[in-house]
Structure 1
Amino acid sequence: MYVKKNEPSHTDDALTQLGEDLRGLRRAQGLTLEDLAAASGKSVSFISKIERGQARPSVTTLQELAGALGVPVGWFFETDGPVPADERPFVVRANRRRKLSYSGLTSTDYMGFEDHLLSASLDGQLALGISTYEPGGNSGDELYTHMGEEAGLVLKGQIDLQLREKVFRLNAGDSFSFAGDIPHRYSNPGDTPAQIVWANTPVNLRR
């Protein structure tokens, strides 16, 4: 297909979006270019070029970057065909939610729960997601903290929200909010899956 000079192609658009996704995810995890370079074994200049849409990473490189960031490599790929350019910055379709993993981000083992990102972008001040906790699942054995604020709504099942020494038993329809610097932890005490929709501000995926 002929492309006019200086007119972006669909490939250019894809590289630009890939770079934006990588930069947004890196920043949301509080990592510098140097941090990601050290964790992935890639150079700072190469990662910077990827983030600016000026370099095409191989699948192997994406796997290494994904591993360093604690996400599956599928994070960087569409799951059901291309997303319309005017839709992607604002809308996340149910079949295109991106899965979040926390392995490698902390020393704490996260057991029996899974996060999916509902936000269309990680470049803003708000992250929205949905967590599913299997029976007995939890966010880790230890309480943890982060910057900003956190709020959520229990969609189904039961959740025990621990804030410092206090544990609150939450049922479907119950909601919560607290400052992220309060040590906290989630767990599912029930015998059916539990689900929470949550929001963090500013964006911080190390919830």
Structure 2
Amino acid sequence: MTTLFPDQLETDRLRLDVVDPASTDAFEHYEAFADDPDPETVYEYVPVSEPATPDESRAFVENAGSNRDDADAVTYAIYPTGDEPMAGTLAGTTTLFVEWDREAASSAIVLRKPFWGRGYSGERAGALLELAFGRLDLAHFGVSCVAGNDRSKRAIEKYVEAHGGRYDGRLRHAHAIDGEPVDLHWFSISRSEYRAATDDAD
């Protein structure tokens, strides 16, 4: 089967392996996330929760594979490499969502607590931006975070600015988590902004 999304992406410190039933160990996903030392903090601002059973991880992997087959989204498992602390350990997952009719992409990340503060969110974002604007030839990339999630907001601000993007504003009651409405901070990068920023960096 032809797929638009590569099996693997690499950055200076990370390897991103596609999450797919043919290649992903659901037990690795379950054990890593179920054993996170602070799940309440990790999942406080995201509309998912840690897997309660191995079967929930199996369903997560199968859903990711189905989305990839349909070209709606691709999910990658994040692994530190080289001399990074805990190299080779599953650090988290990240997803690129695609809306072909809008020529647009967005992304999400869940990073385990031991891997916070290393700049991995921005580094994997760089790889996803190259995928979105380079390989997939999309025109727009958007990303959001829940108001109050200051750590995520700072990380997004940093990589959006580095890639030529901008802060679009705060949308009230734009989403719901556990049945409660939340505000979202929205950021975006256009293809022309991205290319200008990366050309200048080169």
Common fold: TM-score over 0.5: no
Greater percentage in helix = 2
Instruction: Tell me which interval the TM-score lies in, with the shorter structure as reference length.
Output: 0.3 to 0.5
Indicate the structure (1 or 2) with the bigger Cα radius of gyration.
1
